[in-house]
Amino acid sequence: MIDFLRGPVVHMEAEYIVMDIRDIGYRVFVPNPYAFAAKDEAVTVYIHHHVREDAILLFGFESREQQTLFRKLLDVSGIGPRVALGVLSAGKPESVVSAIQQENIGLLTKLPGIGKKTAQRMILDLKDKLLFAVPEGGLLSAAGFGAELAGDAGGQGAGTVWQEAREGLAALGYTAAELDKAWNGLQDSVKADESVDSLMKRALQQLFKG
């Protein structure tokens, strides 16, 4: 089994990157390809080697924490690789773990592909198995979530769509400073009829571009 790959990223699409490893191109599905967009040098990508009857797929991550959380999510009934990848594309590992530890169903159901029943299964199956993934002081309290959102309220005055998107991103662990920076790159391109989901996805692209 492949545990990690190290080499340059030579191509990027919406769902995957291609790494050049000794003149062989490996297609690796990743949570956010934009995280690798500006890296011309060799990078280390931690791999989950997924084998099924009709395909052999590589899923890649920037850190061991992401790799481990991805594998734990696969143990939950109803969560396959694509949904697990979507969870990691929307939330930092420590924020997802924090939500599970605190049984925060409202936050978990904001993650792509996670409904109420799946969120309940995540809590039931993983609550006692994810302590490894939480850094010291990493758990966010309800008050902490509230403080982040309250801090956001005095932000850009951008209207309902951005405020809702901003609150969702803040609940996933992004700071007010990070969100302000993302908004600076988005505000000139926001359409009047743009949905919250669309704006969140574009903000995530900005966040991972840095």
- The reported pLDDT for the residue numbered 94 is 83
More confident residue, 37 or 139: 37
Q: Are residues 54 and 30 in the same domain?
A: yes
* Residue that is last in its domain, among 72, 105, 133: 133
Q: Are residues 102 and 123 in the same domain?
A: yes
* Residue that is last in its domain, among 105, 133, 161: 133
Cα separation of 35 and 9, whole Å?
A: 11
Helices in the chain by DSSP H: which ranges? 64-74, 81-90, 93-101, 105-108, 116-126, 142-153, 160-171, 176-186, 196-209
Q: Band of the pLDDT at 76, cuts 50, 70, 90?
A: very high
What is the per-residue pLDDT across 82-107, written as a single tens digit (0 to 9) for each? 999 989 887 778 888 888 988 989 88
What is the per-residue pLDDT across 105-135, written as a single tens digit (0 to 9) for each? 988 888 888 999 999 999 999 988 776 544 4
What is the per-residue pLDDT across 134-185, written as a single tens digit (0 to 9) for each? 444 444 333 333 333 333 333 333 446 777 777 777 777 777 778 878 877 8
Q: What is the mean pLDDT of residues 17-41?
A: 86
CATH number of the domain at 73, please. Answer: 1.10.150.20
* Residue that is last in its domain, among 112, 133, 154: 133
- The reported pLDDT for the residue numbered 131 is 62
3-state secondary structure of 166: helix
Q: Are residues 53 and 74 in the same domain?
A: no
Q: Are residues 51 and 73 in the same domain?
A: no
Q: Are residues 53 and 68 in the same domain?
A: no
Please say whether the beta carbons of 43 and 26 come within 8 A. no
Enter the tokens of residue 73.
């999510």
Q: Are residues 188 and 176 in the same domain?
A: yes
- For 36, the domain range is 4-61
Cα separation of 80 and 105, whole Å?
A: 19
Q: Are residues 201 and 149 in the same domain?
A: yes
Q: What is the pTM of this model?
A: 0.65
Q: Are residues 69 and 81 in the same domain?
A: yes
**Sheet containing 16-21: which strands, arranged edge to edge?**
4-7, 43-52, 55-61, 24-29, 16-21, 9-12
CATH number of the domain at 37, please. Answer: 2.40.50.140
Q: Are residues 106 and 146 in the same domain?
A: no
Q: Are residues 13 and 30 in the same domain?
A: yes
- Number of folded domains in the chain? 3
pLDDT mean across residues, the chain: 79
Q: Which of 17-31, 37-51, 133-147, 164-178 has the lowest mean pLDDT?
A: 133-147
